[in-house]
Structures are given as C-alpha cells and as structure tokens.
Amino acid sequence: MSAAMQNFAARPEAAEGPVVAVRDLRAWYRLRLFGVDREVKAVDGITFEVRRDEIYGLAGESSSGKSTLVKTIAGAIKPPLEIVDGEIKFSFMPGTKGLSRAPPEIAARVRWRHLSYVMQGSMSVLNPVRRVGASFVDFAARHMGLDKAGFEAAVIAHLARVNLPGSVLMAYPHELSGGMRQRVAIALATICRPDFVIADEPTTALDVVVQKDVLGMFRSIQREMGSSVLFVTHDMGVHAHLTDRLGIMYAGRLVEEARTPDLFARPRHPYTRHLIHSLPSIGDDKPRIGLEGSPPSLASPPSGCRFHPRCAFAAERCRVEVPPMESVGPDHRVACFEKDRVEVTP
Amino acid sequence: MIGALLELDRVSMTYTRGGLLSRTRVEAVIDVSFRLEAAKPEIFSIIGESGSGKSTLARIVLALQAPTQGAVRFKGKDLAQMRGDVERHAFMAAVQPVFQNPFEVFNPLKRLDRYLYATCKRFAGAQGETAVQAAADTALRQVGLSLAEVRGRYPHELSGGQLQRVAIARALASGPSLLIADEPVSMVDASLRASIVNLFRKLRDELGLSIVYITHDLATAYSISDRIIIMQKGRVVESGAARTVLANPQHPYSKTLKDAVLEPLAPGARPLFAR
C-alpha cells in the first residue's frame, strides 16, 4: 500500500478549508446519434463549497439539474453524462480531482468511508432479498476493520442513535415502514462517520409527521459526528428549518446562495423570491401566485439569464448577457442584473 | 334528502387478508359520514397521513370499490343500486378523478390529445372531428392551456405542472359536478403548486364544481378548503370549517399534524433543527 493511499484511510483531522469545493463545474449529457449532436447542459458552470460541520441546502424545481450535480459530485457518472469542464476537490482526497477521475482502488476506499449518499427511495438502496443486517455488512464492514461481534455491536449502537431496535437487522426491507427504512438508510450512510454525506430528497416520500422525526434525527447525527451534509430538496419549508446555508438552482445554474435565514429574509433573485412567496402557510390568507410558464428545456436553454422568460423584472440586458455570480453581503452571492430593484420591490 | 350532491352515511371498509388459518382484518375506513350540498359548491378536504384511509375513501366515492358497511349516495342515488352501463356511464361523467402522479397516469407512448378526444367522445357526446376538437379545446382553456399547445405532444414534453393541468382538463371534459383529487399536488414542484391550487379555486367559483381534495399537506388545504375532515387510522377525528379547525385544532392528532408542518420562519424565529 502506498503512503498516499494510507493517507486517505486516515481521518484528516487537521485539514482546514471546505470539505468539498466545486469550481466552474459543467456536466452535460452528450448524445451523438447519426452525426447529430445533442447536448443537455444539466450542470452548467456551478461554483460552490460545502464547509466543515454544516448542512448546505440545495433547492430548485425538478429538471433544474440538482440530481445531476449530486451524481457528479458522488462520482456516479455514466455515459451519456460527462464532466465537460471544471473540478471537484475533496478535503479527504488531496491532490485528486473528484471521485470519477480518481483511480478505482482509491475511489473504493473513499466511498462510504469519507463520502456517503442517502437517496430518495430507500427501497432501492436496500436489497429487497437480503436482511437489513446483510446490507450493513456489504456497505460498511470493510471500512470499519472490526471483527464480526465488534461490528454487530457497533451497528446496534449506531441504530440506537436513529431510534431503531437491533432487531431490524434481522428484518427484510419490506417488513419495515417507510419511515423506518429511511432511518435505516440514514444509519447506513452515517455508520462510518463520513466527512461528507450527500442526501438527495431523503424525506420527500415520507409523511409530514415522520418527516419531522427523520429531519430531527438527521440534524442530531450531523451535530454529533461533525460531518458536512449536502441536502437536496425542493421543499423550502425543510430548508428553512434544517439547513445552515442554502443555494438555489435554476436550469443548471446556481442563481443565489446565502445563509438560510438571510436568504429567507432578503432574497435578491426574482426566482428565490418567487419560491419563498409562493409557499402557502396556515393562518395566512393572502392569495399565492403561481409562476407562469414552464421550466426551460436544458437541451436549448434561453439565452442570457435563463430565468428571463418567466421573470417580472427582466430587462433587455437579461436576454443577451449571462449575469455573473456576485457577492452582495457576507456569504451572500446572487446572479441577477436587477438585484437592487428586486430587493426594494415589496 | 333533496339537495345533497354526495352523501356518505356511516361508511366502513374492512379488508381481510390471509388464508383460512391466519386471517387478519384491516379496518381502513371506520364509520365515516359527510355530506356535500348540490346548491353550494365547495372544496372539501380530507387530511391524514399514509394509512389513514383517505385513498380508500376516494376509491369508494368513485365507485371503484363498494364499502363493506354504510351507503354512499350521489344526487340521492345509492351507488350500490347502480345497475347497467347507462347508469354507470352517467355516474362516470358526473364524478371524475384526478390522481397523484401525472407522470404515471399518462401512457408515455400515447399522445396527450388522444386522452382528451376519447373523453370528449364518450362522455361529452361530441361527434365528428371538429366538435371533438372544440370540446377538448374548451376543457383545456378552463385550465389555462389550449389545444394548440397540447396537440401532438407526448407526456415527456410537458412539465409536471402542465401535465397535471392536462389531467384536470381531461376530467373536466365530461362536464362533471364533482372532482375527486387524490394528492394532486404532491408530485408537482413547489413553485407550480400554487397555480394548481388556484386553479381548483377558480373551478369552484366559475364552474360551480365541488371538489374533494385529498392531501397530507395542511398548508395548501388551509389556503383553498371550505371544510375539512382529519382522519387517523380510518376514523374522522376532527371536522369543520377549514379556517377554524386548522387555526385551532382540538384533537391531539390534528395538533401533531399541524406541528409537523414545516413553514418558512417568521423573522428572528428559531429553526426547529438549528445547529
């Protein structure tokens, strides 16, 4: 084993800076059929970082490229998806550019030990014909370096953190309720105490009451382990209560990013404003206005600012030029030419 | 009895599961009664978590399933007494469903306009190409689309919100007096939810349509419902005017549900799951 590889296995306690830094990332679906090129620019020039010990939220509607971004970061890249440009840097993989470009043996060591993934459908994570305990062995045993009895004890102790009894290890996935399965998926993703957890719509399929429990658990585990989390959901209510910083995606680009309370208090991008203002709430009888038009096709996105066809503030310049991401306050970045007008409009 | 559009009279539904030796009974709906007036179109919400029996109730009202006890009457007629194609056909024209997932209800290989044409021909009595197309266009215009936008399109070419509108337009094509909407916005993006919910309100006010809105989303239920019932494990635990019930729920389960709704915070309020 080379020295570099041993380095990856050890926990980089002293490492400073963000856990993940994504710079100018472009990931496109490219199809070449009969000489016709078709490109779907699902992630088109995204720059952001997830810091140590924080939950970074990512919001946006379906087909805004959230899931492609997450897949690219997790290194789950299969043709026709490819990274066209940009780079992803992990603090736990110094000197390499992202999982997909790392040698397979290094990627295998890093996956689940340093980076894990909670997906939307917990049913599709857990093998339906194997007991839950077997899934824990498959995912985590080789990273933990414990004997059989020690491993089982560690798993049971970890399951207690998500309020599950040790007996679920003997159950098949279909015997558990949706909330329990999602808790098993969270336990699976956190058992190796990874530095970085990606959660893609982990509670969207759950009921409101169960969702509240699962989110609470998510935060307490994150707090205890000091992991960093990239939390993807389109539910702004969840973001308001859970995330520390929040990025808003629209049509493959990040349009605004700020600390969550600041973003809700002073949104500067018209799309963010719309997302926040369209939420109905109990006790508030103001009529809500839906957004006109439909999300743009990423195969032929609008020119200039991609939001301009649906934007009430759109000016001539928005149709032609792409607004750059600019800092407008501490930790607050926005990509909009009309951001000052947006802010003062009630 | 005169004046009721839909009346449920002590409806229960019990499913039996298993064989001779290990038979278990699941009581999905227990003793539910409510009544919608024909003269007063309203949006009536049924709220509850998964397994509370709300979808079973929808299937019963749509006459896809007969209740094990109690009676369902539509315009004074007991659904259990419905006999023959003609009566069934008339009932289907008058009570139409809208389902949860617009991506699943449409066959991906079939053009969307075909669904509208078929419904217009069978239920609206439109004969001939021009009449069918005009009827389809009228239905689409009621939901803010037009035939020109939908003609020849396949489901994957439209967004979730647009597809759900097409599904609603299809339901409207038969000229129904009652719409059963089972979780119609839970698969639709948050930014498009408001427009679907506003559409329901418009249909009630302009077409005089009654809508049974089934959901677990208390916030949208609050914003559009006239009356609501809250169900837990098959039973109605609380019912009444939507504003009154949701502003000040009495039953412990209703309170749990309301507390679980994650809403954007008031400035300065502390998030539930703060660091």
Cβ(B215)–Cβ(B185) under 8 Å? yes
Using CA atoms, how far apart are residues A188 and A143, in angstroms rounded to an integer?
12
Residue B275 to residue A212, Cβ atoms within 8 A? no
Is the pLDDT confidence value at B212 over 80?
A: yes
High-pLDDT (> 70) share of chain B, %: 97
Residue A6: pLDDT band (50, 70, 90) is very low
**Average pLDDT of the residues in B31-57:** 90
Are residues B50 and B217 in contact, defined by beta-carbon separation less than 8 angstroms? no
| CA separation for the pair B147, A167 (Å, rounded) | 57
Residue B179: pLDDT band with limits 50, 70, 90: very high
Average pLDDT over residues A190-202: 89
Quick check: B273 and A287 CB within 8 A? no
Residue pair A309/A293 in contact (Cβ under 8 Å)? The answer is yes
Higher-pLDDT residue of A205 and B1 is: A205
pLDDT, tens digit, for every residue of B130-176?
Answer: 999 999 999 999 888 889 888 999 998 887 888 888 999 999 999 99
Q: What's the number of domains chain B is made of?
A: 1
Q: pLDDT tens for residues B77-121?
A: 999 998 889 999 999 999 999 988 888 899 999 999 999 999 999
B159: containing domain? 40-62+83-255
Q: Considering Cα of A173, then A177, then A180, then A181, what sign does the dihedral take?
A: positive
> How is residue B153 annotated by DSSP?
-
**Residue to test with chain B: of A62, A217, A264, most B Cβ within 10 A:** A62
Can you tell me the mean pLDDT for A193-215? 85
Hey, how many other C-beta atoms are within 10 angstroms of the C-beta on B203?
Answer: 21
Question: Is residue B180 situated within a structural domain?
Answer: yes
Chain A residues with CB under 8 Å of B192 CB are 61, 290-291
**Whole-angstrom Cα distance, residue B117 to residue B129?**
9
Q: Which residues are CB-contacts of A297 (< 8 A; sequence separation ≥ 6)?
A: none
The residue written with tokens 């894990």 in the block is A116
What CATH number has the domain bearing residue B218? 3.40.50.300
Pick from A61, A209, A274: CB nearest B256: A209
A72 touches chain B (CB under 8 A): no
For the segment B72-77, the average pLDDT, to the nearest whole number, is 92
- Residue B133 is predicted with a pLDDT of 93
A280 and B220 in contact by Cβ < 8 A? Answer: yes
Residue to test with chain B: of A67, A120, A239, A282, most B Cβ within 10 A: A282
pTM strictly above 0.90: no
Nearest to B257 among A208, A223, A264 (CB): A208
Yes or no: say if A155 and A136 are a contact pair by the CB < 8 Å rule.
yes
Q: Residue B238: what pLDDT?
A: 94
**pLDDT-derived band at A271, boundaries 50, 70, 90:** very high
CB contact (8 A) between residue A290 and residue B263? no
Residue type, B193: R
Closest C-alpha to B96, from B111, B112, B113, B74? B74
Nearest CB partner across the interface for A208, out of B189, B216, B265:
B216
CB contacts of A289 in chain B (<8 Å) are 194, 198
What pLDDT does residue A14 have? 42
Q: CA A215 to CA A236: how far, in whole Å?
A: 14
| Contact flag A61-B256 (C-beta cutoff 8 Å) | no
Residue A2 has what pLDDT?
Answer: 46
Nearest to A231 by CA among A217, A216, A244, A213: A244
Contact A291 B196 (CB under 8 A): no
- In our burial notation (b when 16+ CB lie closer than 10 A, e otherwise), range A137-174 reads bebbeebbeeeeeebbebbbebbebbebeeebbebebe
Predicted pLDDT of residue A16: 66
Q: So where are chain A's domains? A: 3-243
Average pLDDT of chain B to the nearest whole number: 89
The pLDDT value given to residue A8: 43
Q: What are A76-128's pLDDT values in tens digits? A: 888 888 898 898 999 888 877 788 888 888 888 888 889 998 887 666 778 88
- Over pLDDT 90: what percentage of chain A? 35
**pLDDT surpassing 50 at residue A5:** no
Spatial CA neighbour of A186 closest among A170, A175, A206: A206
pLDDT at residue A15 in the model: 53
Phi, psi at residue A134, to the nearest 5°? -65, -35
Give the residue-averaged pLDDT of A312-334.
Answer: 92
Any CB–CB contact under 8 A between A63 and chain B?
yes
Is B257 in the A-facing interface, judged by CB distances under 8 Å?
Answer: yes
Residues of B with CB below 8 A from A285's CB? 223
Name the more confident of A172 and A95: A172
Residue B4: inside a domain, yes or no?
no
Question: What pLDDT digit, counting tens, does each position of A234-267 carry?
Answer: 888 899 999 999 999 999 999 999 999 999 999 9
- Cis peptide leading into residue A287 (ω within 30°): no
| B160 touches B114 (CB < 8 A) | no
Mean per-residue pLDDT, A162-184: 87
What confidence category does residue B187 fall into, taking pLDDT thresholds of 50, 70 and 90? Answer: confident
- The length of chain A is 346
Structure token digits, residue A162: 């998500």
* pLDDT above 80: residue A46: yes
**A9 pLDDT higher than 60:** no
The 3-class secondary structure across chain A, one letter per residue, is CCHHHHHHHCCCCCCCCCCEEEEEEEEEEEEEECCEEEEEEEEEEEEEEECCCCEEEEECCCCCCHHHHHHHHHCCCCCCEEEEEEEEEECCCCCCCCCCCCCHHHHHHHECCCEEEECCCHHHHCCCCCCHHHHHHHHHHHHHCCCHHHHHHHHHHHHHHCCCCHHHHHCCHHHCCHHHHHHHHHHHHHCCCCCEEEEECCCCCCCHHHHHHHHHHHHHHHHHHCCEEEEECCCHHHHHHHCCEEEEEECCEEEEEEEHHHHHHCCCCHHHHHHHHCCCCCCCCCCCCCCCCCCCCCCCCCCCCCCHHHCCCCCHHHHHCCCCCEEEECCEEECCCCHHHHHHCC
CA-closest candidate to residue B8, choices B242, B241, B173, B231: B231
Contact B102, B187 (CB under 8 A): yes
A3-243 CATH: 3.40.50.300
What is the gyration radius of the CA atoms in chain B, in angstroms?
20
